[in-house]
């Protein structure tokens, strides 16, 4: 800001010097950006644009690229695996988003107080989020083992006669994946909620208390409305990450049993990199991107309307 006012304020008088300064600034700016930008351009920006173009082309590892218009999309909408993967992804999101959000908020409320050693509890709950995914998947797979796994032993002990088969059952594999991912992610969103909670002025609570509001009323009328921006952000992040879910499923169930946990990202991988159908897989990518984008835009709209 200051740079601009100092160098550009006397513009009419020394316009040549100014233009020289501007050119110099451009040059300097680009030298700073260039090292990152070259890599970004080549390995992110161009692939993103290419993905759009590819989805309208027929291109496999054995044939040259050919423009085919909407043929990939027609094939996709007629394919069973696409709809199964889409359905599974939506089911995963419907489980993962609300559960993670609710638990993260509860944990944040519980941990948002001045107590000795509270930092330890926060750190412990956050830790699963940065634990390696393979270790998480492997441990939970064993915890979920149907016959003598600790989870089913626990369920048996509290009187559930026929505990579910979890990852070996096509009905229960998705819930098992959702439980694992909620456990892993909630610490991360708890941190976001903690930041949101700490930004609420204490005066609001004091005023509500003076007015005789109960704890529940304070939660409902002070906490929830004040957290709205955080919640918006959390929902967007959670939804986007749910639709992108990939590695947890690959390691935990690899889409099985049958196709009961196959998700969109996995389909893109199988068709594109596994079988070399570059065009077709890019069409699925485009659908994934459009879903993610529309969810974000929709939530943005809702948020805006609420603020008005």
* Alpha-helix runs per DSSP H in 41-130: 46-54, 71-77, 80-111, 118-130
- Please provide the DSSP assignment of 141-203 as one string: HHHT-TTT-HHHHHHHHTT-SS---GGGSTTTHHHHHHHHHHHHHHHHHHHHHHHHHHTS-HH
Nearer to other proteins, 73 or 140 (CB): 140
Report helix, strand and coil shares of the chain as percent, to nearest 5. 75, 0, 25
162 near other proteins (CB under 8 A): no
**Cβ–Cβ under 8 Å, residues 180 and 99:** no
Instruction: Compute the residue count for the chain.
Output: 308
22 near other proteins (CB under 8 A): yes
Residues 271-290, interacting with other proteins (CB under 8 A): 272-273, 278, 281-282, 285-286, 288-289
Window contacting other proteins (CB under 8 A); options: 94-102, 130-138, 167-175, 211-219: 130-138
Minimum distance, C-beta of residue 206 to other proteins, in the bound complex (Å): 11
Per CB under 8 A, the list member of 127, 224, 228, 304 interacting with other proteins is 127
Per CB under 8 A, the list member of 10, 17, 47, 98 interacting with other proteins is 47
50 near other proteins (CB under 8 A): yes
**Cβ–Cβ under 8 Å, residues 238 and 182:** no
Residues 230-249, interacting with other proteins (CB under 8 A): 233, 237, 240-241, 243-244, 246-247
> Hey, how many other C-beta atoms are within 10 angstroms of the C-beta on 253?
22
121 near other proteins (CB under 8 A): yes
Nearer to other proteins, 33 or 207 (CB): 33
| CA–CA distance, 190 with 237 (Å, rounded to integer) | 13
Residues 191-220, interacting with other proteins (CB under 8 A): 191-192, 195-196, 198-199, 202
144 near other proteins (CB under 8 A): no
Window contacting other proteins (CB under 8 A); options: 29-37, 68-76, 165-173, 216-224: 29-37
Per CB under 8 A, the list member of 36, 64, 80, 159 interacting with other proteins is 36
- Residues with Cβ within 8 Å of residue 138, at least 6 apart in sequence: 251
Minimum distance, C-beta of residue 47 to other proteins, in the bound complex (Å): 4
* Residue among 269, 263, 267, 264 at smallest CA distance from 289: 264
Per CB under 8 A, the list member of 9, 64, 78, 130 interacting with other proteins is 130
136 near other proteins (CB under 8 A): yes
Minimum distance, C-beta of residue 93 to other proteins, in the bound complex (Å): 13
Window contacting other proteins (CB under 8 A); options: 89-97, 121-129, 160-168, 206-214: 121-129
**Cβ–Cβ under 8 Å, residues 167 and 252:** yes
φ, ψ at 6 (rounded to 5°): -75, -45
């Amino acid at each position: 800001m200051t740079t601009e006012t100092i160098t550009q304020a006397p513009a009419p008088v020394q316009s040549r010097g100014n233009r020289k300064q501007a050119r110099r600034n451009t040059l300097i700016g680009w030298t700073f950006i260039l090292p990152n930008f070259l890599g970004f351009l080549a390995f992110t920006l161009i692939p993103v644009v290419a993905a759009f173009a590819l989805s309208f082309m027929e291109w496999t590892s054995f044939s040259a690229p050919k423009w085919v218009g909407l043929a990939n999309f027609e094939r996709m909408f007629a394919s069973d695996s696409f709809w199964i993967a889409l359905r599974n992804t939506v089911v995963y999101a419907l489980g993962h988003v609300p559960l993670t959000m609710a638990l993260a908020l509860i944990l944040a409320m519980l941990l948002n107080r001045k107590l000795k050693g509270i930092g330890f509890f926060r750190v412990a709950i956050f830790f699963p989020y940065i634990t390696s995914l393979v270790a998480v998947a492997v441990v939970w797979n064993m915890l979920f083992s149907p016959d003598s796994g600790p989870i089913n032993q626990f369920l048996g002990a509290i009187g559930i006669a026929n505990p579910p088969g979890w990852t070996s059952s096509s009905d229960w594999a998705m819930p098992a994946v959702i439980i694992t991912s909620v456990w892993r992610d909630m610490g991360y969103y708890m941190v976001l909620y903690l930041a949101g909670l700490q930004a609420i002025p204490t005066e609001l609570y004091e005023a509500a208390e003076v007015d005789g509001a109960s704890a529940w009323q304070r939660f409902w009328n002070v906490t929830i409305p004040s957290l709205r921006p955080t919640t918006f952000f959390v929902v967007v992040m959670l939804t986007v990450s749910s639709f992108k879910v990939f590695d947890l499923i690959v390691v935990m169930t690899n889409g099985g049993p049958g196709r009961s946990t196959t998700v969109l990202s996995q389909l893109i991988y199988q068709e594109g990199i596994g079988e070399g159908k570059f065009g077709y897989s890019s069409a699925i990518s485009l659908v994934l991107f459009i879903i993610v984008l529309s969810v974000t835009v929709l939530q943005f709209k809702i948020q805006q309307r609420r603020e008005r």
